[in-house]
């Protein structure tokens, strides 16, 4: 999980809520143009990545499903307080299907039910005080680490303490969202093993390890022409270490 820099609420949603303060999410998204505009803004704010696991939010091909859906961080069904969680812009995140949809795009890799993650195990639980919200974590330092050989995702306890972030909440985030599932480990291994091969290739060409890492950080840790971050951003950041931090500071990274 990385920081998500939420953009300004789209006027489309704000105006709709003013007119229909008690309506539900399904009513708002019943109109295709409303749904598409909000989804596009959410994807743009998140740099094309799932707010939880950081897989890329791939669009469908033909009759497949986009690997994307809108997640309400706080359960939209919560009626214990007079607040409409359905239409709260700050409550809307974009996430993948977490391995749960048989007809998702790239299903041979992305459909792994019951090995599911992200909002699938979370369901309608209220985890506000249990896990981290990607809107409310810092850009620096990184709070999680990834081990290249296994793809294991873990809490960077030292960095959490430095940022005054609860280590327990960070660990709960991994556990409750199942962010260390084998499907995600496999994806992360593939990314980091390729990076490792790239480092070895550059070193064989005469570059020092530091120079190789710098080149790879400059290429990988930036948004592409579509405004998207690389998938499994935090894992790449973890692998490239201090070189990654220098690169991100140089581009004024803030989520």
> In whole numbers, what is the pLDDT of the chain averaged over residues?
97
Residue % of the chain over a pLDDT of 70: 100
Q: Evaluate if residue 20 carries a pLDDT over 90.
A: yes
CA separation for the pair 199, 202 (Å, rounded): 5
Q: Evaluate if residue 111 carries a pLDDT over 90.
A: yes
Q: Evaluate if residue 63 carries a pLDDT over 90.
A: no
Q: Evaluate if residue 61 carries a pLDDT over 90.
A: no
> What's the confidence (pLDDT) of residue 144?
99
Residue 49 gets which letter from DSSP? B
Query: What value, to the nearest 5°, has the Cα angle with vertex 58 and ends 52 and 63?
Result: 130
> What's the confidence (pLDDT) of residue 62?
84
- pLDDT tier, 238 (very low <50, low <70, confident <90, very high otherwise): very high
Over residues 51-74, the mean pLDDT reads 95
Provide the residue count of the chain: 255
Closest to 94 in 3D by CA, of 132, 43, 40? 43
Over residues 67-89, the mean pLDDT reads 96
Task: State the Rg of the chain over Cα.
Answer: 19
Over residues 191-208, the mean pLDDT reads 97
Q: Are 80 and 17 in contact (CB under 8 A)?
A: no
- pLDDT tier, 207 (very low <50, low <70, confident <90, very high otherwise): very high
Over residues 203-214, the mean pLDDT reads 96
Over residues 149-157, the mean pLDDT reads 98
């Amino acid at each position: 999980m990385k920081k998500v820099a939420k953009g300004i609420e789209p006027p489309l949603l704000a105006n709709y809520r003013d007119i229909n303060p008690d309506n539900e999410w399904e009513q708002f998204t019943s109109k295709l143009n409303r749904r598409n505009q909000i989804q596009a803004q959410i994807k743009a704010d998140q740099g094309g990545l799932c707010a939880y696991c950081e897989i890329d939010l791939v669009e469908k091909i033909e009759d497949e499903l986009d690997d994307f859906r809108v997640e309400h961080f706080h359960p939209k069904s919560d009626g214990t307080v007079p607040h409409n969680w359905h239409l709260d812009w700050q409550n809307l995140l974009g996430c993948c299907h977490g391995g749960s949809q048989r007809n998702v795009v790239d299903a041979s890799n992305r459909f792994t039910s019951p090995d599911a993650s992200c909002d699938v195990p979370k369901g309608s639980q209220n985890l506000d005080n249990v896990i981290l919200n990607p809107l409310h974590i810092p850009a620096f330092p990184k709070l999680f680490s990834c081990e290249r050989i296994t793809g294991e995702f873990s809490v960077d306890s030292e960095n959490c303490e430095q940022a005054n972030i609860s280590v327990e909440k960070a660990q709960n985030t991994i556990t409750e969202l199942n962010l260390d599932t084998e499907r995600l480990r496999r994806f992360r291994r593939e990314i980091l093993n390729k990076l490792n091969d790239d480092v070895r290739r550059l070193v064989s060409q005469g570059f020092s390890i530091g120079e190789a890492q710098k080149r790879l950080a400059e290429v990988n840790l930036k948004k592409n022409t579509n405004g998207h971050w690389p998938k499994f951003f935090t894992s790449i950041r973890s692998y490239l270490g201090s070189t990654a931090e220098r690169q991100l500071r140089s581009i004024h990274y803030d989520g």
